[in-house]
Chain A
């Protein structure tokens, strides 16, 4: 009589979601085209889509993104991208134009400016959305957490990354250093920290996508940390509480949000393929650590090389 043997322990194996299809009809207006491209194609045909569900009153999708918020973020990001940090790319062709890929980069600046710049840059140069995986700590801050989510940020969780990379075949951005990167003092700048426990490699292996490392210079100097206040950070429950050069120049309030106009350079390295079958439950820990360390080495060398060629912090 039962369709399934009555065992709650052996769950029926169900495919998570159909693979995403590259979608979107050719559009004339550029804004509309970008907007369509930036949606998860695989998610859209659902009845819950804010565009088709008649009960909906806002354009916030099930991941928390809102196209209106993203438009605002694009405008703001565009200003910083072109005028403030004057971003320049090398090796842009290494970013895949189709399929999922996990972008990893070195992380810097008290309030990291590299994440929005990479996201905005890839989006405007290649026309592919990048989903920034941010520490879940962001979600606990009022306004900031919600704003980040509306603008396209996703909490860093292996499941979320897997859905983006594997199920939707999109680009995701992660910083394997975690908070250890942006909490560095100015004297330790460009010294890459440990790449966590290599979780990003495992996530990419499981999703069957390559890792694309990007070396970043400039972010360290956009908000350099002079001093850390560990006791105050502990009291406030934040990962770190910095005193930055920006604080000294612009004061305690403006200095927390205004960046110094350092020149940004991004160098995209060759995509790293792991040659492991996707979708396994476990991957050899040794291999994960080895690959993570190799990627860290590569990034560190690229950063040093770029620094050797940099003539000025502000003009590149």
Chain B
């Protein structure tokens, strides 16, 4: 019997692209995607269920579909896109419901993959140059986003402890860059600026969109449990990010940074959530030795991810955003279920 996979966040970059990659694998028998909005990627055979963001419906779905794997990509790691309360609802309450469904008695779930972020390590002057998966944060989290992710991870760890038969993987991604994903950094780059804090030029890491998708694919298809850092090789200074991407550096005063940045954020000149501000001050490095030892190979380095992003955005500027996909329920239903469509058996 093939794999039966449930994916959350189908309407986001993460879920959509991962679903597209997983449905190519013949070993995957059924793929079910959940999302609060319509999927943004054209999908061949993934079933789509609309669900509210806290997944109250989930335990029924898990029971009805007998999935063996849950891939939880719907965690918000960008605090400028929504209010703190919505964020808590999605990240903490959503994950809680998801894990409750996966851990219910008689559950068919054997693997859970959860997306997290290197934000859980924070960014502080007392940090080590490299965080391994076991290195604790230097200081407790202050921002709501980081706190919510830490809470999510603690639920995941509790779940792993209570369900030893389930392979649990927790993936901590560095800053992702690519065509589809929108992050505070990519929004800044798209506006032609890279904000920086005057007098600071810390080292940061990136991971390319394609590597993110491949990483999910690897972890799901040849189940490996544990916590893994995911970031392209090397760390590059913020100034170099601006040089590779070909954008202006926009230095902001190192003192009273929030006050200085606030009007610029209001005017839409830049995007600078609190987590990005501390990152641009002290940087962060996560050690990916464990993931590489598990057999994963990155297609590009941190600098390569930025360069790839720069190339794509140059192309998009010339030809425009032509390949937008819009989901149409009737069309999808026709292709997936109509007897008129000839399907390979």
Chain B, interface size category, equals: 35 or more
Contacts of B239 in A (CB 8 A): 58
Contacts of A9 in B (CB 8 A): 157, 160-161
Binary contact readout A122-157 vs B (1 if CB under 8 angstroms, 0 otherwise): 000000000000001101111101100000001101
Contacts of A17 in B (CB 8 A): 289
Contact B203 A62 (CB under 8 A): yes
Contact A46 B233 (CB under 8 A): yes
Contact A155 B127 (CB under 8 A): yes
Given contacts A47-B233, A55-B301, A55-B306, contact A14 B289 (CB under 8 A): yes
Asked if B2 is at the interface (CB within 8 A of a chain A CB), the reply is no
Q: Choose from B129, B233, B290, B293 the contact partner of A155 (Cβ within 8 Å).
A: B129
A157 to B130 alpha-carbon distance, docked (Å): 10
Asked if A28 is at the interface (CB within 8 A of a chain B CB), the reply is no
Q: Choose from B166, B198, B203, B254 the contact partner of A60 (Cβ within 8 Å).
A: B203
Given contacts A5-B225, A143-B199, contact A47 B301 (CB under 8 A): yes
Contact A60 B237 (CB under 8 A): yes
Asked if B296 is at the interface (CB within 8 A of a chain A CB), the reply is no
Asked if A56 is at the interface (CB within 8 A of a chain B CB), the reply is yes
Q: Closest Cβ of chain B: how far from A158's Cβ, in Å? A: 8
Contact A62 B234 (CB under 8 A): yes
Chain B residue at smallest Cβ distance from A63: B129
Asked if A282 is at the interface (CB within 8 A of a chain B CB), the reply is no
Contact A46 B168 (CB under 8 A): no
Q: Choose from A16, A48, A55, A139 the contact partner of B289 (Cβ within 8 Å).
A: A16
Q: In the complex, which residues 143-171 of chain B have their Cβ closer than 8 Å to any Cβ of chain A?
A: 156-157, 160-161, 163-170
A56 to B235 alpha-carbon distance, docked (Å): 10
Asked if B258 is at the interface (CB within 8 A of a chain A CB), the reply is no
Contacts of B165 in A (CB 8 A): 6
Contact A136 B125 (CB under 8 A): yes
Contact B203 A2 (CB under 8 A): no
Q: Choose from B125, B223, B294 the contact partner of A140 (Cβ within 8 Å).
A: B125
Q: Closest Cβ of chain A: how far from B227's Cβ, in Å? A: 6
The residue among B129, B227, B233 with the most chain A CB atoms within 10 A of its own CB is B129
Tally of chain A residues near chain B (CB < 8 A): 45
Contacts of B198 in A (CB 8 A): 142
Contacts of B233 in A (CB 8 A): 46-48
Asked if B81 is at the interface (CB within 8 A of a chain A CB), the reply is no
Q: In the complex, which residues 27-85 of chain A have their Cβ closer than 8 Å to any Cβ of chain B?
A: 46-50, 53, 55-58, 60, 62-64
Given contacts A2-B223, A46-B234, A48-B302, contact A160 B167 (CB under 8 A): no
Asked if A12 is at the interface (CB within 8 A of a chain B CB), the reply is yes
Q: Closest Cβ of chain A: how far from B49's Cβ, in Å? A: 26
Q: Choose from B110, B135, B290 the contact partner of A159 (Cβ within 8 Å).
A: B135
Contacts of B235 in A (CB 8 A): 48, 62, 64
Contacts of B240 in A (CB 8 A): 56-58, 60
Chain A residue at smallest Cβ distance from B226: A11
Contacts of A1 in B (CB 8 A): 110, 223
Contacts of A137 in B (CB 8 A): 125
Asked if A7 is at the interface (CB within 8 A of a chain B CB), the reply is yes
The 4 closest A-B pairs by CB, nearest first: A142-B199, A48-B234, A6-B167, A48-B233
| 5 CB < 8 A contacts A-B | A7-B225, A8-B225, A15-B289, A57-B243, A64-B202
